[in-house]
Chain A
């Protein structure tokens, strides 16, 4: 009798496990299908683009990719985005690191008020400032220019200090004290003590800073609207490929562009996944 009970328990466990596998497979399908569909549609040879009415296209072709790189401004957008994201990554990483170090390690009168100020500033809907920012840039002749976009993206990076400061807070203070006894200045502590220990958070900051411009649409479309060839990929794909009335014509080209944009980001992301997960879990849930 004991044995029978054990077996039925085992049977129940097996049933749950099968159920779980089924659920997981369904989930995987739901999550992957849109992306497969996207890839398939990018090879759709329906004359004149169009949404089509079958999952698998009647004609398979590379034309969408050819068209993307020869007939549209896409290569320029791609270059702009790459330029912007590389430069922004450098500035943003530097700004976030030094701000976090100052707020985490240095003690000065305005420290608390400054942190509160940045918290409050973060609550204003970001693009409300867009109009003013646009006119500021226009006055210094940086609209329709990647430099303007770089300036806007980098300028407010200080507000993203939160996660990085959280990481610095976990580095033991005794290290600083030991260095100070040895006569190190606060600058030397940053360079020789803190930064060498901060590799995971540096990678996290670099990763998020690099990816952000590829998906930012609002500022990019506003600041570059004088010259559509200066768009970033996000702005271009939304404003040109999917502009009202063009969606039908450009849909398959849009899919091709989406694939080209996604591949490097995805590779980078999967490669550095560990740091990303550490960053978001470490920074946002510590309580």
Chain B
């Protein structure tokens, strides 16, 4: 395909072309992916082999100081006057041993069963009354074993670093080269090693409050953690892939097929919602931006400010207020009754029993919330479009509509594709709008604990917060992740091909 031919196509043809190109390209992408696997594995193997090679080398070539570091971390370093590092390694080892002996070890040992005794009867020696005390807590066992595994991995890494740097120090001394002194080492953390200084705190936070919980969630998907197995009064245990089987309708639980049906319904609505919430807002916002930007329109700043005010008001305030005035007994219905538009008995269920109406209302209210954002984004870019493009289009006799289709829209799409993708992905997981607006939408009888307007993420919320179905919810969470990841990959892929093919600037 020659570039010129591509440029001659109408937008629809272009889209079709890109669409086809994406699917045509899929097999080769897949094969490239699988072809890359052996190479990656080989690289990984090399990395691993390198680690063992280094350890082996340290055992073979190391003198007694280096070899002592295998057991007493930091010894080889202290022996070569690198006190700071050596002492820190040693402290780390001591702390790790203490942690494992007094805390981590017993949790790791219980990880296979997640606890055996939930409660034990204890007789109070004074009163003689038997009381029940909680004993094993599956939740804490799982949480702490994961934490311990993380710490063990960190320890192995530190141990390896200790061996490696002991050996290097030894070789440096043997070659009569200059070993960094403690002072130089400290200074390096403001220079060559500055990234370690900067990233240590952010990464620690990320590990404890994001990565650890995600692993926890993934493990929960393989347990029967629910309302009937709720610690500390009850234990939960491993059930293998049962929750996944339930989701796809093959499980033993009575509700299994209903669960599969609900998942399909909710997924469908999630995608429909994300599509409308993204593109409707975008196109309408762009239109508003265009008419405000039009030459000869006065008070541009005023119009913009009016819309910006609505961004400034916290979103949860506007959403909650909207959900209140549109409720069955809400202001809008009251006014309509008073004005005689509807009967008192015939109140309009804007955001309650009628699923289709509620979905439409949610999309509309979201348009109201979202237009100012997209207006703001589009305004800046619109002003960047070179005026002479329009000038020459006018001379060639193009009307405003044609100029829009041929200049404005392609330009905007080209520049804002990354924004649209992040918007779309954000909307797949848009909790706030759905949750705050559709609090009144009842659970629908043919669905498993979900209402007509629930997205995957709000369904998940209901399953955990209201029904304590943690195991099932985790499965949905994992699937949500997979879906979002697939969408991101496909979309970013497409946007890349668009970028290469019609470079504007």
List of B residues within 8 angstroms of A120 by Cβ? 485
Q: How far is the CB of A283 from chain B (nearest CB, A)?
A: 9
Cα(A213)–Cα(B417), bound, Å: 29
Asked whether A38 and B217 contact (CB < 8 A) given A21-B297, A53-B335, A131-B470, the answer is no
A51 touches B214 (CB 8 A): no
B321 touches A285 (CB 8 A): no
Q: Does A151 contact B (CB under 8 A)?
A: yes
B205 touches A127 (CB 8 A): no
A-B residue pairs in contact (CB < 8 Å), sample of 11? A13-B296, A21-B297, A111-B195, A130-B464, A136-B143, A158-B206, A187-B191, A217-B435, A238-B316, A238-B320, A270-B308
Q: B481 touches which one: A20, A28, A123 (CB < 8 A)? A: A123
Residue of B nearest to A55 (CB): B335
Residue of B nearest to A282 (CB): B380
User: Restricting to A90-112, which residues have a CB under 8 Å from any CB of B?
Assistant: 95, 98-99, 101-102, 106, 108, 111
Q: A186 touches which one: B194, B317, B485 (CB < 8 A)? A: B194
Known: A114-B199, A155-B208, A186-B194. 18 other contacts (CB 8 A): A17-B297, A31-B306, A51-B325, A54-B338, A99-B198, A125-B460, A125-B477, A129-B213, A131-B213, A131-B470, A132-B212, A132-B216, A222-B465, A247-B324, A261-B314, A270-B305, A285-B419, A287-B414
Residue of A nearest to B212 (CB): A132
Closest 5 CB pairs of A and B: A129-B213, A155-B205, A269-B312, A132-B213, A53-B334
Cα(A285)–Cα(B372), bound, Å: 16
Q: Is the interface of B mostly helix, strand, loop or mixed?
A: helix
Q: Which of A1-9, A63-71, A171-179, A248-256 contacts B (4 or more CB under 8 A)?
A: A248-256
A52 touches B309 (CB 8 A): no
Q: Does A215 contact B (CB under 8 A)?
A: yes
B312 touches A266 (CB 8 A): yes
Q: How far is the CB of A208 from chain B (nearest CB, A)?
A: 12
Q: Does A59 contact B (CB under 8 A)?
A: no
Q: How far is the CB of A65 from chain B (nearest CB, A)?
A: 16
Looking at A120, A217, A287, the one whose CB has the most chain B CB atoms below 10 A away is: A287
B381 touches A281 (CB 8 A): yes
List of A residues within 8 angstroms of B456 by Cβ? 125
User: Restricting to B445-470, which residues have a CB under 8 Å from any CB of A?
Assistant: 456-457, 460-461, 464-465, 470
Would you give the 0/1 interface string for B470-497, flagging 1 where the beta carbon is closer than 8 Å to chain A?
Answer: 1001100100110011001000000000
List of A residues within 8 angstroms of B212 by Cβ? 132, 136
Asked whether A124 and B321 contact (CB < 8 A) given A52-B334, A285-B377, the answer is no
Q: What is the interface of chain B, defined by CB distance below 8 A to chain A?
A: 139-140, 143, 187, 190-192, 194-195, 197-199, 201-203, 205-206, 208-214, 216-217, 220, 288, 291-292, 294, 296-297, 303, 305-318, 320-322, 324-325, 327, 329-331, 334-335, 337-338, 368, 372-373, 376-377, 380-381, 414-419, 422, 425, 429, 431-432, 435-436, 439, 456-457, 460-461, 464-465, 470, 473-474, 477, 480-481, 484-485, 488, 499
Cα(A37)–Cα(B457), bound, Å: 31
B488 touches A280 (CB 8 A): no
Q: Does A202 contact B (CB under 8 A)?
A: no
Q: How far is the CB of B470 from chain A (nearest CB, A)?
A: 7
List of B residues within 8 angstroms of A206 by Cβ? none
Q: How far is the CB of B361 from chain A (nearest CB, A)?
A: 14
Q: B320 touches which one: A28, A99, A254 (CB < 8 A)? A: A254
Interface size class of A (residues with CB under 8 A): 35 or more
Asked whether A266 and B324 contact (CB < 8 A) given A129-B210, A286-B418, the answer is no
B306 touches A156 (CB 8 A): no
List of B residues within 8 angstroms of A27 by Cβ? 288, 303, 307
Residue of B nearest to A129 (CB): B213
Cα(A234)–Cα(B474), bound, Å: 26
Residue of A nearest to B480 (CB): A125
Q: Does A34 contact B (CB under 8 A)?
A: yes
Q: What is the interface of chain A, defined by CB distance below 8 A to chain B?
A: 13, 17, 20-21, 23-24, 27-28, 30-32, 34-35, 37-38, 41, 51-55, 95, 98-99, 101-102, 106, 108, 111, 114, 118, 120-121, 123-133, 135-136, 139, 151-152, 154-159, 185-188, 190, 211, 214-215, 217-218, 222, 234, 237-238, 242, 247-248, 251, 254-255, 258, 261-262, 265-266, 268-270, 273, 277, 280-281, 284-287
Q: How far is the CB of A197 from chain B (nearest CB, A)?
A: 18
Q: How far is the CB of B298 from chain A (nearest CB, A)?
A: 9
Residue of B nearest to A186 (CB): B194
List of A residues within 8 angstroms of B470 by Cβ? 131
Cα(A98)–Cα(B204), bound, Å: 14
B198 touches A132 (CB 8 A): no
A125 touches B429 (CB 8 A): yes
Q: How far is the CB of A26 from chain B (nearest CB, A)?
A: 11
List of A residues within 8 angstroms of B315 by Cβ? 215
B321 touches A20 (CB 8 A): no
B431 touches A270 (CB 8 A): no
List of A residues within 8 angstroms of B435 by Cβ? 217
List of B residues within 8 angstroms of A132 by Cβ? 143, 212-213, 216-217
Cα(A238)–Cα(B323), bound, Å: 11
List of A residues within 8 angstroms of B473 by Cβ? 128
List of A residues within 8 angstroms of B292 by Cβ? 24
B191 touches A186 (CB 8 A): yes
A281 touches B380 (CB 8 A): yes
Q: How far is the CB of B33 from chain A (nearest CB, A)?
A: 15
